[in-house]
Amino acid sequence: MAIHKRILEWQAAHPNVTWIGWGIVWAIVLAILFWPRRIGG
């Protein structure tokens, strides 16, 4: 997968941005799991 390889190379060049990105992803996942009222209304 050429795209996946390019992503890995970009992450290696920008490790701080990668950590921020994963932090945002985990924040969204945890919010969905532990905040059911946002989904149910």
* pLDDT at 40 (0 to 100): 58
Alpha helical stretches, state H, 1-41: 2-13, 15-34, 37-40
Return the domain boundaries, the chain. 2-40
Overall pTM > 0.85 = no
pLDDT (tens digit, 9 = 90+) per residue, 1-41? 788 999 889 888 888 888 899 999 999 999 888 877 755 55
Residue 28 pLDDT: 93
Q: To 10 degrees, the CA torsion angle through 38, 34, 25, 3?
A: -90
Residues shown for the chain? 41
